[in-house]
Structure 1
């Protein structure tokens, strides 16, 4: 499962953009439940990687959001409200959105959530490091995949953010 935590950038000096993004995501990802979790933040749970990519890139395109993606298990049964959800993917999404705040030009991060695994941040260790060889501890399950997904999404996110209004008109 995928949990997205999306936090508004500069909310203390800006208008509340959460209702607008919620309406956009309802059109973009029909059937998915996104809702305000606290203050200027929203959260949703998705099952499709394609929907995760579409959602993340849509938020990045807008330019007003930090995007945290948590990948992993969620406690079942999944409640009707994402705010009531729990499990490693929820914890990972929280860690990811906090890392996204320090990410620089593309404010996005991906974290793998696993039971009992210390979370060090997908980007804190290069992909391929810690494979168990030479006494280096193996990466927790999913960490390499999360780091790879983050790298690709940041590359695409950079392109998305840098398009002008005229370029978006052509794309749309």
Structure 2
């Protein structure tokens, strides 16, 4: 097992770790425990990272929401759940959701729904509807949106 880094080495490592990509507090704590740091050292490093703006939970939450929505086409429900898993506070989650423009949100939903509906090869109408809904719900889209879209596609294709 590699030997434990000094406080200065660990601080430098974590500065790089946080500057490479936005991190939440939990990821930083996990990394510090992985390095074998003691709790008083961890506190000192986290305070240093906060004071020098390497670690900013609101900035992380906003960046996370923008990225997961635009790149992975996640809906708001999935984004909120993932942020909660990372112990992000409610005000920061609210700030993160404000990063998602409503027009863009519905545009991405429409594109994703259309693409997935067209990609389904299922012939049985009920099975196709279930696969369609399950896929979009898993990605965190609101059930009302998903079911309305399923009805719209189901009625437009007739007996398909």
Same fold (TM over 0.5): no
Kindly indicate which of the two structures has a greater share of residues assigned to strand. Answer: 1
**TM-score of the pair, normalised by structure 2:** 0.23
Q: Which protein has the larger Cα radius of gyration, Structure 1 or Structure 2?
A: 2
Kindly indicate which of the two structures has a greater share of residues assigned to helix. Answer: 2
